[in-house]
């Protein structure tokens, strides 16, 4: 019984710490037209890039502080940059719209 409570407490602390580190990430929104690209540079080095819809935006790393974002299809995508300590350092929402003729 005591072990189960300790595990539940450890899980709860871990979830709170994860929420705090994600909450500190810089939230930004970018808008791109299909076919366009943009360079995004971070103040701190990142280790991992997480993207929820890879069919909307293509990402090419240009070192450990910048990426090239290329808009592929209309939609909205979230990109999270994580450092070597598994802390989210930036959370970018990218809105891709149809290119206007």
pTM of the predicted model as reported, rounded to 2 decimal places: 0.70
pLDDT score of 79: 95
pLDDT band at 11 (very low <50, low <70, confident <90, very high): very low
CATH code reported for the domain at 2-97: 2.60.40.1550
Q: What number is the average pLDDT over the span 53-80? A: 94
Q: How far is it, in rounded angstroms, from Cα 89 to Cα 38? A: 19
Q: What number is the average pLDDT over the span 38-61? A: 94
Q: What number is the average pLDDT over the span 62-91? A: 95
CA distances from 30 to 20, 27, 46, 50, 91 (A): 24, 10, 19, 16, 11
pLDDT band at 3 (very low <50, low <70, confident <90, very high): low
């Amino acid at each position: 019984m005591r072990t189960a409570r300790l595990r539940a407490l450890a899980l709860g602390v871990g979830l709170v710490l994860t929420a705090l580190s994600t909450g500190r990430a810089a939230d930004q929104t970018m808008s791109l037209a299909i076919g366009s690209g943009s360079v995004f540079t971070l103040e701190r080095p990142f280790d991992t890039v997480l993207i929820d819809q890879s069919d909307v935006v293509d990402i090419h790393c240009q070192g450990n502080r910048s990426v090239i974002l290329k808009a592929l299809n209309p939609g909205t995508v979230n990109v999270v940059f994580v450092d070597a300590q598994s802390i989210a350092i930036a959370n970018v929402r990218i809105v891709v719209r149809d290119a206007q003729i």
